[in-house]
A and B are shown apart, each in its own frame.
Chain A
Amino acid sequence: MAGVLQGEVLLPEQIADLLGLEGALGAAVGALIGAFVVGNVMLAFTGVAGPWAKRKITAAFTDRIAVNRIGPFGLFIIIADSVRLLSKELIIPDGADRPSYDLAPLILPASAMLGFAVIPMGSLGPFNIQLADPEAGLALVFAFASIASISLVMGGYASNNKYSLMGGLRAVAQNIAYEIPLIVTAMSVVVFTGSLQLSTIVAEQSTTLVSIAGVSIPAWFAFVNPFAFVLFLVANMAEIGRNPFDIPEAPTEIVAGYQTEYSSVYFVLFYLGEFLHVFLGGAIMATIFLGGPAGPVLPGFVWFVIKIWAFFLFTQWARSALPRVRIDQLIEIGWKGMLVLSFANLVLTAIIVGVIA
């Protein structure tokens, strides 16, 4: 069991130690290098996911072959696609509101990257991959994740396009409706752990729930409270805007929503940002419901990667099979269904924890 225990040395300090630097300089250099490494790993994931894995997975669901010409399994399409996307002309509409039009595509990936700072990603060899472990880690990660909707509104508004505007407005409505159930459901986990610190939440899940025929099932909160897990899964899908809740983009209705007017590099940034958010959503799920980096045999980091990719796969699976709900239905499900259920879940959890403890 490669769980990360509270108080373990974090990645920046380890790097500082390795380089023999101390004090403020060590902390700064360590943090920079650590952030660089983690950020690039995540970007690499999105690089694989966007141009290649998404195509391959969709193709599998739809009985097609998909990219297979360039490189092994068509993997080099990633390079070809990057060159293609980056070399396209950047078209900026006449009436665009410049600073915010330019900032929007930066905010989306940046907010997702920030979120990864506090996620405990387990250990790989001697390294414990977590950049920071603040007391209020869970609150922080939700705060970072929800900055995304600001980017969507900015992009939608600044594009000076009616479809973009509608996409941006839809994004806000959706985010408000699903943020609350999302966080309230996450709170039910906090009721168990009594801490917002992510490493504590992960550590709490490393105990054994039950042992069946010698196989011990860990006390992952997905097993402890499957109802909360399902609620969180649905709210998370809506939060990151994946099918069946992809209404801010809704290609057949409002063309491409907030990103209609974005091309070239800006489009790449939006695209990256979306995938980063999917992975961040997966990382949050893994951390608070699936035992973080816990898992047998393989190193913790590998398990962590498997879990976030599993979540990515799930979003693609849902994309292939589920119709999109309508905006009013989405809001209705959010306010009338999810909100009530998530509070019920919180109260029930609190009662159960109160009775047991």
Chain B
Amino acid sequence: MTGLAPIDGVVVLAIFAKALGYGAALLTMGGVLFTVLFAKRAEESVLRLARHLAVGAALVGLAVLALRFGIRAARISGMGFEGATDPMMLGFVWESPLGTAAIWRGVGELAILAILLPRVGKWIALAGSLAVAISFAQVGHSLGELRAPLAVLLVLHLLAVAFWVGALLPLRKAALTTTGADLLHHFGNVASYGVGVLIIAGAALAWLLSGSVAALFGTAYGLVLLVKIVIVSTLLGIAALNKLILVPALRAEKRGAAIALRRSISIEMLAVVLILLATATLTSVTTPPINL
């Protein structure tokens, strides 16, 4: 197996913290996108949930950001967990690209808290979401001249994923409201484009980072990426099932339709958790074939 870094206890903790950070970032960006895009179609109770989701996830994201600084400091120090609070080690982390990313992420997540303000707050939060997405483009392997296209693709990929992931909880609630079926139907139409962006940007990223199909099977990066693709495909299958069967059933007011749809959305959420863990593993302990 090539391109797999050594894994120890701190690395496992780093992977979980990273997955949690991804989840928080996606939920907070997605909560904002939902609030902006469905302001007219969703009921107030659903919009309130989306706003609270954005704020709660932003706060968790800020806490995880601090935690990840400590974990990174511990990892580079070789002192174990003592290194997590060592000012010199934290200084090294701050000077690294993670420091730059932390500024974008932190400022973005703080700006998202503005969603609680009336009127203009929504737009401040939207700018914050973009800053959070951009923060992810600040870290990663040194890729030379590929840096700019990769950054654009990554930001697009993340916004599309966030739109989807952040909508799951509000939609699950919406399934119980009177206008829910129309909202879900509308979401399905918008999400079709979102999924298109997600797949095209994701595939382009994978292609640029892998360089060849053979690299997918011979490297640790390729194998974890394949695991991720399998889970994403399952998720897309569930989403298609929702759009083509369960949402039409809800619109036709079939019995049990709301329960079936809510259960299906819950399974989607579980798949998202698995994808985040796979992605965190992918970006923590494996090296893209292009860097090998």
Q: Answer yes or no: are A and B bound together in one complex.
A: no
